[in-house]
Amino acid sequence: MEPLFRERKPTGEGILPSQEISDLVDTGIISADSVITEDQIQPSSLDLRLSSEAYCIKASFLPSRSTTLLNKAKSNGMLLSTIDISAGARLEPRGIYIIPLMERLNLPSDVYGVANPKSSTGRLDIFTRLITEIGDEFERVERGYRGQLYIEVVPQTFPIIVRAGMKLNQLRFGRGKRGVVGEERLKELDQVDFLVQPDEEKGQAKIDRGLRLTVDLQGNGSGIIGYQAKKETSPIDLDLINHYEIDDFWIPLRKGAECILERGEFYILASKQRIRIPPDLAAEMLPYDLSTQEFRVHYAGFFDPGFGYGENGEIPGTRAVLEVRASEMPILLEDDQFVGRLNYYNMSERPKKVYGGAIGSNYQTQGLALSKQFKKEQFVSVSKSGSDSVRMYADGVLPSTDSDDEAQESSSKSSMAQMEFGQLVSAKARES
């Protein structure tokens, strides 16, 4: 008689790649209420799915090791209501919800887990955290953990519609020490294969306790350098893709205007650098850094192998979208201001999947990109009368008031940059 699950075949130390995550599923280490599908398995993480009930609670908490999470939620008047989300339900801003996930774990003693929100979740200002059945730390799954998984969901700006099966967060797995790649190795990597798209004014990557990132307030020729979220909007159904009008939910921030982050407001901005993550590495942006002043710069914070890089280095970098919230005081931002660091981590093995269009990744060639629920205008010229025209831009950027010449110049510069990048990569290959 054949065993129910086949034998596990571990790779080395580091973050586990897609093929080993598939192996964890096949061996029963990861299980679920319904079949785990191939599209849940990302280059270095597993997308987790909501089950059919949500619990609205008074306050955020950890279950501790003395009781289960749901027992604690239902005791001492903590539970406000139970919501059936099987067919869809509305979650209100600032409400705190605990939702059981479909997936369960039976981890071996050599594997741990670290969770984070998915990119689209962070770009909608939805705060999420993974919770284990009995534990004392958010977003972490200890080695050898056996049990149910839960997600804490707090919509902070927009009301949202969620339903069973939706994927708001992802779990990556690791083996060995969770240490960052050191500065010397990052510098060596940048010499062999650029970590950012080279810029003739800025030079190469700035390495200081990770890759330093700065904010872009010049824009890409569209005249728009960011977005501020509106309040009191209609709800966003997370299943609707390329659906909502940008103007109904966002205020565009234009180039040349003073950029002040107001306390409690939510903003979408972009990094000055176009970053590149080689397939044998993954990266994480620190969600908060005292040296960047009092604001949080990224909710999701995790970058898969191949982001801005592709299979074989054919992509010359992709901007990091910054999900920004000022916490204690208004803050004036200036172009090229330091906003955070990107830490790199070794993969235990190169993943068979890498980030990109081939696996349905949404943000591989993004500029200043809102979440996938908003309409993406294409870069076209629509004739009106005579030589007049109306322009629309890709990546959710609104039509600008700048001249057509500026847009064409920006497009030309982008094409030139890609050609020059290809020449630089070829030159480095010859040198090595």
**Which stretch of 3-7, 62-66, 217-221, 276-280 has the lowest confidence by average pLDDT?**
3-7
Alpha helices in 18-159 (DSSP H): 18-26, 69-74, 119-123
Whether the pLDDT of residue 398 is over 60: the answer is no
Residue 228 in contact with residue 269, Cβ under 8 Å? Answer: no
Pick among 2.70.40.10, 3.40.50.300, 3.90.550.10, 1.20.950.20: CATH of 195-379+403-431: 2.70.40.10
pLDDT at residue number 404: 42
Residue 73 in contact with residue 55, Cβ under 8 Å? Answer: yes
Structure confidence by residue, pLDDT tens digits, 79-114: 999 999 999 999 999 999 999 999 999 999 999 999
pLDDT at residue number 382: 35
Structure confidence by residue, pLDDT tens digits, 16-30: 999 999 999 999 999
CB < 8 Å & 24+ apart, contacts of 383-392: none
Whether the pLDDT of residue 174 is over 80: the answer is yes
Whether the pLDDT of residue 415 is over 50: the answer is no
In sequence order, what DSSP letters do the residues of 217-263 get, joined into one string? -S-SSSSEEEEEE-SS---EETT--S-B-GGGTEEEEETTS-EEE-T
Whether the pLDDT of residue 136 is over 90: the answer is no
Q: How would you label 228-237 residue by residue, b for 16+ Cβ within 10 Å and e otherwise?
A: bbeeeeeebb
Q: Which residue has the tokens 């398995």?
A: 41
Four-residue CA torsion sign, 313, 306, 339, 263? positive
Whether the pLDDT of residue 122 is over 70: the answer is yes
Four-residue CA torsion sign, 30, 32, 34, 37? negative
Q: How many CA atoms lie within 13 A of 44 on its CB side?
A: 31
**Which stretch of 48-62, 349-363, 399-413 has the lowest confidence by average pLDDT?**
399-413
Whether the pLDDT of residue 392 is over 70: the answer is no
Q: Which CATH class is domain 14-175?
A: mainly beta
Whether the pLDDT of residue 41 is over 90: the answer is yes
pLDDT at residue number 390: 31
List C-alpha distances in Å: 83 to 53, 78, 103, 237, 367.
Answer: 6, 15, 20, 16, 37
pLDDT-based confidence at residue 241 (cuts at 50, 70, 90): very high
The residue with greater pLDDT, 170 or 425, is 170
Intervals of CATH 2.70.40.10 along the chain: 14-175, 195-379+403-431
pLDDT-based confidence at residue 376 (cuts at 50, 70, 90): confident
pLDDT at residue number 75: 78
The residue with greater pLDDT, 200 or 373, is 373
Alpha carbon distance 370, 367 (integer Å) = 9
Query: 63 CB contacts (<8 Å, ≥6 apart)?
Result: 69, 71, 72, 131, 132, 133, 134, 135
Q: What percent of the chain has pLDDT over 90?
A: 56
pLDDT-based confidence at residue 125 (cuts at 50, 70, 90): very high
pLDDT at residue number 405: 45
Candidates 41, 40, 35, 48; CA nearest to 18 is: 41
**Residue 421: how many CB atoms within 10 A of its CB?**
20
pLDDT at residue number 279: 94
Mean pLDDT rounded to a whole number for the chain: 82
